Amino acid sequence: MGKLYEFREEDAYNFARHVHIQVKTRGEELQFYWCPYCKGGKNGKDKGTFSINLHTGQFKCLRSSCSVSGNIITLARDFDFHLSRDVDEYYMHKTSYRRFKKPVEAIKPQPKAVEWLAGRGISKEVVERYEITIHNRQENVIVFPFFDEKGNLVNIKYRNSEYNGEGNKEWFEKGCKPILFGMKQCNMKNKRLVITEGQIDSLSCVEAGVENAVSVPGGKNGFTWIPFCWDWWCQFEELIVFGDLEHGQITLLDDLTKRFPGKVRHVQIEDYKDCKDANDILLRYGKGAVKKAIENAIEQPVKQVKELADVKRRDLKDIPKFKTGFGLLDSYLGGYFYGGQLIILTGKRGQGKSTVANEICVAALQQGKKIFAYSGELPEWQYKSWIDFQIAGPDNIVEQPDRDGGGLRRFITNSNQDLIDDWYRRKFYIFDNNVVDDDELTDLVTTIENSIMQYGIDLVVVDNLMTALDVDMEKDEYRCQSKFVKKLSRIAKRHDVVIILVAHPRKNSFTKDENDAVSGSGDITNAADVVMTFRRDENTEDHNFLSISKNRWFGRLTKKDGIDMWYNQKSRRIIDRSKPDFDYDVGWKPKEIQQQTIDGFIDLTDDMESPFTMDE
């Protein structure tokens, strides 16, 4: 199939939806409930006999009386299933094009055509070879005939030689097959082909002594010709792209590099000599400059590959960073979390990993950083309430006995809540769980990247992995996880931000390796720069441990239990030994409360409680 069509896993799923058959993934195969050809045989008893390989697109039915096989293109043909316009036209021949009578003898150019092209530097000899003439009834219209490799006239293009900005400059005969201009005149023994954007540019190359020069029919954005020229141009071993130079970029280059199966080279920008195209070079600098530009063509560098010597050094001090709020943790991580890092934070359900993530958010806010948070398990108001308590601190949380005798009620006063809101306004953003599209995974990834660019986000918290995924159960759940985490890693590195991903451990995991204990695909921890695990001390209620099992940048890992940490129930704060107590100041300037006690209750009639409260 070459590069005309490359199988995509999504095409197999789209085909299943097209024929309305249930599917499930088994290893590398997409298994269908029944075969779309034989329908499971008599009475549909044979199920699960048909499958498509998700790597190759090959299919087969295991029923001996059916035994149909082929590839995804076979299915597209047999079930009228759309893959792409190129495939539709090339393999299914859905489009019917006009046919012209094959000329008995070569078309003889009219003097007007020869005269006009001479003004563009094209000789009479080249005009005659390419059989360019004028319209029978319009002398100002130049006619460019498009012959295929067999000499059949399959398309005609017209150009207004007196174009002044009004009407059409160029147009085609209606209903003609799109092919390259100059195919008939090429020498197939010469395995090098030069391709340009315009017909006059390809003629300029021929004028300069280039043997095989063709041009695309419809400009830089039209590639409908590829299916009809595929077999022909695959005979060439080397393609030289001589597109137009626009805004420092060569047209046609990116698309043709992806599609041509052989070696692709392109004219160097300096060899354009500040000209737009081959004809401009011919007119200003002559044939030699055009020929030299083609001979000096270089290969397109492989994308995502560069010379190591060209990699710029980067000092850690120049990378965006912030302290975690845990001094001992920072000492293991080179002093900070650094932009570009993906952090995995794991731990058993309900043991406080979300609280640790919140504590890091508070520290980032103290340092003037901007945050985007996704909380899949908590409603927005509850997430806000929780982190507001951590921001407020124990001395700014009011306790009252529950009027129903159920313990203590804790809350932040309205005035202090206003101060906290003002403190992180335009610095803290949260994913709106009330607006969720069908494809939440794609929506979340897009929202994260858009927020980073629009709001200047420094820290992203995704809590947690499983709630962030909207997994199609017909697909491989681990593959979805892997793709999601890799996307987060790329976003972190592309934008120099820190991303913390909260993940659960595997159920009933007996491994001693904390990286392997993270639930889901192994790619999750492979993509991470730091993996941390938070757990409670089983013997002491408020004592906890934070361990580091992966530290890609600096290599330091915690020993034994990890870093000692302590938890305060009143404020939900977590500290390590770098802080003397839980009542540390984060900078939002709390308002003093004049407390008056009435029958054991604090009188707050002038400063009513915030609606965000926490019951003990």
Structural domains in the chain plus CATH codes: 9-91 (3.90.580), 111-299 (3.40.1360.10), 339-607 (3.40.50.300)
Q: Are 547 and 364 in contact (CB under 8 A)?
A: no
Distance CA 57, CA 6 (A): 9
> Comparing C-alpha atoms, which of 522, 505, 508, 482 is closest to residue 346?
505
Residues 6 or more apart whose CB falls under 8 angstroms from that of 246 comprise: 276
Distance CA 441, CA 479 (A): 13
The pLDDT, as a whole number, for residue 433 is 72
Q: How many residues does the chain have?
A: 616
The pLDDT, as a whole number, for residue 88 is 62
Distance CA 389, CA 409 (A): 13
> Comparing C-alpha atoms, which of 348, 357, 401 is closest to residue 383?
357
Distance CA 360, CA 532 (A): 13
Beta bridge partners of 338: 321
The pLDDT, as a whole number, for residue 471 is 40
DSSP 8-state symbol, 435? S
Q: Are 285 and 293 in contact (CB under 8 A)?
A: no
The pLDDT, as a whole number, for residue 221 is 79
CB atoms < 10 A from the CB of 48, how many? 14
Give per-10-residue mean pLDDT for the chain (616 aa): 69 88 89 90 85 92 89 81 67 66 86 95 97 92 95 94 87 91 96 96 97 92 82 92 94 87 93 96 97 94 80 90 96 96 91 94 96 90 94 92 75 93 95 62 80 94 79 56 89 96 68 55 81 91 93 93 93 93 89 47 46 46
The pLDDT, as a whole number, for residue 576 is 94
The pLDDT, as a whole number, for residue 592 is 59
Question: pTM score, two decimals?
Answer: 0.55
> Comparing C-alpha atoms, which of 427, 426, 420 is closest to residue 370?
427
How far from 616 is each of 84, 118, 293, 401, 572, CA to CA, in Å?
60, 92, 78, 10, 11
Phi, psi of 576 (to 5 degrees): -115, -170
Which string of DSSP letters, residue by residue, matches 213-270? EEE-SS-TT--TTHHHHHHHHTT-SEEEEE--EETTEETTHHHHHHH-SSEEEE--GG
Beta bridge partners of 400: 409
Which residue matches tokens 């070879």?
A: 129
> Comparing C-alpha atoms, which of 197, 203, 155, 198 is closest to residue 179?
155
Distance CA 140, CA 101 (A): 25
Which residue matches tokens 């001979």?
A: 295
318-351 burial: b if 16+ Cβ within 10 Å, else e: eebbbbbbbebbbebbeebbbbbbbbbbbbeeeb
> Comparing C-alpha atoms, which of 285, 357, 293, 279 is closest to residue 324?
357
The pLDDT, as a whole number, for residue 461 is 97
DSSP 8-state symbol, 394? G
- E strand or H helix at 326, and its extent? none
Beta-strand pair 213-215/192-196 = parallel
The pLDDT, as a whole number, for residue 510 is 43
Which residue matches tokens 């137009």?
A: 244
